[in-house]
Amino acid sequence: MFIPAGSLLNTTFRQLGRKVICGPVLVTRSKSSQPYEQRNELTKSPVCSYNEWDCLEEAIVGRVENATVPELTPEIQAVIPETSWDYFKENAGKFFPTEHMRKARSEIAEFCRILEHEGITVRRPDIIDHAKSFSTPDFTSTGLYAAMPRDLLLVIGDEIIESPMAWRCRFFEYRAYRSLMKEYFRDGAKWTTAPKPLMSDELYDMDYIKSGKRLELPAKGRYVTTEFEPCFDAADFQRAGRDIFCQLSHTTNRMGIDWLQRQIGDEYTIHIVQCQDDAPMHIDASLCLLKPGLVLVNPDRPCYQIDVFKKAGWDVVEAPRPTTPRDHTMWFSSTWLSMNVLMLDHNRVVVDVNEIPTQKLFEKLGLECIKVDLRFASSLGGGSHCWTCDVRRNGSLESYF
Ligand code: DAV
């Protein structure tokens, strides 16, 4: 359902309001050994990103280390491929297979080198033990991973928000990012942590799977998460300056979207758009904003509100079908990660080296493809967009609609 916005004007690239200037020359990194009192007095935030396409200067890239098989809880069962169900049941709490993870790790190391070669400062989360079991008054779980910073961290302007993610196994995922968050805070960023969900049984429709209609309910607006308390994953949002697009999904509820809208204020308008998707979780393999005037869509998941983009003069381009072999292990997602791409600026796009049709499309659109091999890394559920969080892009707050 689209929430029509008064702000959807036909003017383009209007430039208004608060402007946070950022750039690597202006940022001095605090030494972690330096006492807080002696931190650098900075006026510029090291965190600054308004959209998916301005020139990328600094990014967090996730980690493979200690990725742990989660328990097959209802909120996971509602979204992951059925082919993973038995594997998760049998291996919950254990690390993912060593050899597969070794390959994924070397792919991610190479991905980091490629980004650095493109002039981007690459930061990494801490290595923590995700297999450690924990309890809250409401539930007991083991962790998952720190592979997908896109799911947790939402950067809107100079604010970096730790999202109230919906999976129990991700309750403590923020811990892997706390060294970075503290550093960004010391250096001037606005650091926010959304209200932590209790994740008690009330947050979940415990009968969602039992109803036997797992694949039909999203069309009726029913998800595995309830409206008991706010929850959202940052990857359900795509930023276009003053307009932010998001979907309701198994990980993002209305109360979560309302919380975010109130938090970021009326400088921004969040629009809910929905795609025809029988297991929605994260918008970035369904609808990807590539640059002003260009949106990439998933032909299997038509977006009901695509006219919003067309009316604003945007080109809507269908992503080619993924080429990942059917028997390739995808524990968490579909193979549509082929369209889960990271823009380095208006002209450069990070695309999987194996996805030739997607590369050809981008080349036809005049984009330069920066090729990375994420075949084994993608088994953990993300492409180059999910594996990263763009902490700083060189740009300002603009309106594109
Ligand atoms: O299967 O399209 C993609 C999830 C990306 N974080 C899918 C889900």
Predicted local distance difference test score (pLDDT) of residue 43: 52
The reply to whether ligand 1 has any atom less than 6 angstroms from the CB of 252 is no
**pLDDT of the residue at 267:** 97
Q: Do 305 and 286 touch, CB atoms closer than 8 A?
A: no
To the query of whether residue 282 is one of the catalytic residues in this protein, the response is yes
Contact 160, 181 (CB under 8 A): yes
280 Cα–ligand 1 center, Å? 8
CB of 235 within 6 A of ligand 1: the answer is yes
Torsions phi, psi of 179, nearest 5? Answer: -60, -45
- Higher local confidence (pLDDT), 41 or 97: 97
236 lines ligand 1 (CB under 6 A): no
Over residues 170-189, the pLDDT tens digits come to: 999 999 999 999 999 999 99
Answer yes or no: are the C-beta atoms of 349 and 299 closer than 8 Å.
no
Mean pLDDT across 367-387: 98
- Give the residue carrying structure tokens 């690390």: 95
CA 198, chain centre distance (Å) = 22
Residue 261 and residue 237 in contact, taking contact as beta carbons nearer than 8 Å = no
pLDDT in tens, 200-254: 999 999 999 888 788 888 998 999 999 999 999 999 999 999 999 999 999 999 9
Q: Is 233 in the pocket of ligand 1 (CB under 6 A)?
A: no
CA of 13 to the centre of ligand 1 (A): 30
Which residues is 95 bridged to in the sheet?
A: 68
The separation between the first and the last C-alpha atoms of the chain, rounded to the nearest angstrom, is 18
Tell me the C-alpha distance between 234 and 173, whole Å: 13
Query: Is 223:281 a contact under the CB 8 Å cutoff?
Result: no
| CB-facing half-sphere around the CA of 206: CA atoms within 13 A | 4
Q: State the pLDDT at residue 214.
A: 82
Farthest CA pair distance, the chain = 59
- Please give the distance, rounded to the nearest whole angstrom, from the Cα atom of residue 284 to the centre of ligand 1: 7
Q: What is the 3-state secondary structure (H, E, C) of the chain?
A: CCCCCCCCCCCCCEECCCCCCCCHHHCCCCCCCCCHHHCCCCCCCCCEECECCCEEEEEEECECCCCECCCCCHHHHCCCCHHHHHHHHHHCCCECCHHHHHHHHHHHHHHHHHHHHCCCEEECCCCCCCCCCEECCCCEECCCCECCHHHHEEEEECEEEECCCCCHHHCCHHHHHHHHHHHHHHCCCEEEECCCCCCCHHHECCCCCCCCCCCCHHHHCCCCECCCCCCCCHHHEEEEECEEEECCCCCCCHHHHHHHHHHHCCCCEEEECCECCCCCCCHHHCEEEEECCEEEECCCCCECCCHHHHHCCCEEEECCCCCCCCCCCCCCCCHHHHHCCEECCCCEEEEECCCHHHHHHHHHCCCEEEEECCCCHHHHCCCCCCCEEEEEEECCCEECC
Q: How remote is the CA of residue 188 from the centroid of ligand 1, in Å? A: 33
Is 130 designated active site? no
Average confidence score pLDDT of the chain: 91
pLDDT at 19: 36
- Which amino acid is present at 185? F
pLDDT value at 145 more than 90:
yes
The residues spanned by each domain of the chain are: 13-394
Would residue 187 show up in a list of annotated catalytic residues for this protein? no
- Rounded Cα distance, 41 and 186, in Å: 9
Amino acid at 92: A
Q: Which atom of ligand 1 is nearest to the CA of 386?
A: 6
> Between these two residues, 137 and 16, which has the higher pLDDT value?
137
**Are 169 and 144 in contact, with CB atoms under 8 Å apart?**
yes
Residue 8: which pLDDT band, with cuts at 50, 70 and 90? very low
| Cβ–ligand 1 contact at 53 (below 6 Å) | no
Does position 160 have pLDDT exceeding 50, yes or no? yes
Residue of the CA atom closest to atom 8 of ligand 1: 333
Give the span between the Cα atoms of 186 and 177, in whole angstroms: 14
> Rg of the chain over CA atoms, in angstroms?
20
Class of CATH domain 13-394: alpha beta
Q: What is the pTM of this model?
A: 0.91
**Residue % of the chain over a pLDDT of 70:** 89
